[in-house]
Amino acid sequence: MKNIQKISACLVHIFTGSGIIFSFMALVSVIEGYKLLTFMFLGIALLVDIVDGTLARKYKTEMIFPNIDGKTLDTIIDYINYIFIPCTMIFKFKYLPPNFTIIIPIVVICVSLYSYVNTKLVDTSFSYLGFPSIWNVVLLYLEILNFNQWMNLFIILLFILLKFVPFKVLHPMRNIALKKTNIIFLFGTLLTSSILLMSKLEIKFINDFYIYFFSLWLIFNSYFILFVIFSNLLSSKLYQKLKKT
């Protein structure tokens, strides 16, 4: 029984570590100029990141392998996939006006670096304080929405500022009551995002139904925006109640 538990825990660590392989493939794709391929590898890495935490808790990796820090492993890979590679994409794929293609990625990399090592940014409810540095998702949305460079600059600057605004973003997988619903909407978002990206390859059957996939994509994303808003309102009410008692 113990051997099975060790094998299971070991496989979870290997699964988490596989994210770095997709990081490398995404970076190679950026260098080679394959934008959609970059998004594909970052998407696979995102799926790994969504699932690995649940698996790590289920198979008790911290107890079975106390000398391997799964959180540090996850953080290293997350920084590369969520911040470093998206910043290279901003430069390579010219999302911003020419005068901002270097300075903005540098600002994002530096601000995000120090937010990653700030132990007070994540509280006991696993809520992240401020914008949670999901720059890979921001770029995915900019690609789908296809704004001009100046609008992209405004949006990215807005998210940089939101890193310093003390609102809470609860990890969707940490909400026990809505976990199953969040999983469905999360994978719905990933699926529709992938389809909308594929439409850029001019695949006919996708283009014929583009408006329907785009509408679904908006619904899924609206759900998560409302999820963040209401989780903030509920946590605020709970805090006021605790303060009065």
Q: Is residue 192 part of a domain?
A: yes
Q: Is residue 190 part of a domain?
A: yes
Q: Is residue 53 part of a domain?
A: no
Provide the number of structural domains found in the chain: 1
State how far the alpha carbon of 149 is from the alpha carbons of 13, 29, 60, 156, in Å: 40, 22, 46, 11
**Contact criterion met (CB below 8 Å) for 182 and 227:** yes
Q: Show pLDDT as tens, one digit a residue, over the chain (245 residues).
A: 567 788 888 888 899 999 999 999 999 999 999 999 999 999 999 999 988 888 888 888 888 888 888 888 999 999 999 999 999 999 999 999 999 999 999 999 999 988 888 877 777 666 788 888 899 999 999 999 999 999 999 999 999 999 888 778 877 777 777 888 988 998 999 999 999 998 887 777 788 889 999 999 999 999 988 888 887 777 655 444 444 55
DSSP letter for each residue of 8-75: HHHHHHHHHHTHHHHHHHHHHHHHHT-HHHHHHHHHHHHHHHHHHHHHHHHTTHHHH-TTS-HHHHHH
The identity of residue 132, as a single letter, is P
Q: Is residue 183 part of a domain?
A: yes
Range of the domain at 219: 171-245
State how far the alpha carbon of 190 is from the alpha carbons of 7, 93, 218, 221, in Å: 30, 22, 12, 10
Looking up tokens 């990796």, which residue turns up? 61
**Contact criterion met (CB below 8 Å) for 69 and 14:** no
